[in-house]
Structures are given as C-alpha cells and as structure tokens.
Amino acid sequence: MTTRSVPITDELHSYLVAHGSAPDEVARELYAETRAVLPENAEMQVSPEQAALLGFLTRLVGARTAVEVGTFTGTSALAIARALPADGRLICCDISDEYTAIARRYWRRAGVEDRIDLRIAPALETLRALPTEPHLDLAFIDADKVGYPAYWAELVPRMRPGGLIGVDNVFRGGRVLAPQDESDRVISDFNDAVARDDRVEAVMLPVADGMTLARRR
C-alpha cells in the first residue's frame, strides 16, 4: 500500500498503455505521423492514456455536446468524437490550418468527421459566440497556457450541472512548484483558482503532465 501515486517508469507506462489504453491502428498512425512531421511539437499530443481517459469520460457523462480548446493534430478530438453518439457534436477551437489538416484526415478515416465542428479562430471568439445558457456536457482545455483563466471563465457558466471539464498540463513539468516563466505562473495561479471555485468540484490527477477534472455543481 502507498499513500501517493507510484512513479511511472517507461516500462510501467508501457504496461499501463497495454492494459486498457492502447491506441488502435488509426490512432497509432496519427501518433506516428505527428512525431515524424512535427517532431519539435509532438509533445503537444495527448498521451495514449489521456486519450483513453477522455473517451471513457465522454461515455461516462453521456456527452452529446462537447468543446475542445486546442486541437493540434486531433488525437484528443478523435477520442472524444468516437465516444459521442452518432448525432453528437464536438466543437474544436484552434488557430492552425497546418496542424488541423492532419487531424481532419484521421477524423475522416475514423468515420467521425461529421461529429466535429472545427473552428479556425481565436478560441475566445469561438467560446463567446456559444449560447450562454448551461448546455455543454464536456469540455477539454489544452491550448496556450496564459489563456487558461479566460477559457475557464467562458466555459464554466456554459457547463450543464454534472458537466465535466478536463484541463491538461496543470503540472507544467513540475514547475508549478517554482514557476520559471509566465506560463508557469499563470498555471500555478489558475490551479489555485480552480481549487477555490465553488461552482465545481475538482480533482487533480497525476496523468501525463497533470490533468484536472472538474464537475459542474
């Protein structure tokens, strides 16, 4: 027994992925192409266990309407869209045609392109154009870190009771303990603000670079 998470070695991570998080052929090829074409940015891709978790949570909350802030090459969107019902909808916010062109090809291959509404524009513009009443079942934030507080401010009021928000990179590689740049400082302050936000109940998980899950009260 232990009172803290077990450190994840490379071997244990491989074991973890093999036991419930393994990507299928389409996702494996998306990971491989992202690493080959965008090696300097490939770390922006969610890990296989994060993708599996996002799909699991999408089904768990019975999501029909979801939003993703930060899409990159589409791995997390692929996981969420696959878990939506056939008439479900995922709005993806990104500013890169280059990265999302890769995403579109894999969404098409997986047969979920019709569930995804990709909007190439600043995410705040897209979020502020959404209906203001609570209607979102699921949201995932994984974009520019300095924008997290603003994205949170727009999304929380739009989440229906019981709706779930996932937030990636809340550890900043451990630098939230001693911030080294603006992004680190923003995320450190953001984490404190989420913990104080009585509109949600939140838990921070040691998944990949840290992931917060917040359920709208």
DSSP 46-84: PPHHHHHHHHHHHHHTT-SEEEEE--TTSHHHHHHHHHS
Give the Cα separation of 211 and 129 in Å (integer). Answer: 26
Q: Are 98 and 72 in contact (CB under 8 A)?
A: no
pLDDT at residue 141, rounded to an integer: 98
* Residue ranges covered by each domain of the chain: 10-216
Tell me the CATH number of domain 10-216, given options 1.10.10.10, 3.40.50.150, 3.40.50.620, 3.40.50.2300: 3.40.50.150
pTM of the prediction? 0.96
| Angstrom distance (rounded) from CA 138 to CA 104 | 21
The pLDDT value given to residue 3? 81
- pLDDT tens for the chain, 217 residues long, are 568 899 899 999 999 999 988 999 999 999 999 999 999 999 999 999 999 999 999 999 999 999 999 999 999 999 999 999 999 999 999 999 999 999 999 999 999 999 999 999 999 999 999 999 999 999 999 999 999 999 999 999 999 999 999 999 999 999 999 999 999 999 999 999 999 999 999 999 999 999 999 999 9
So what's the pLDDT on residue 4?
86
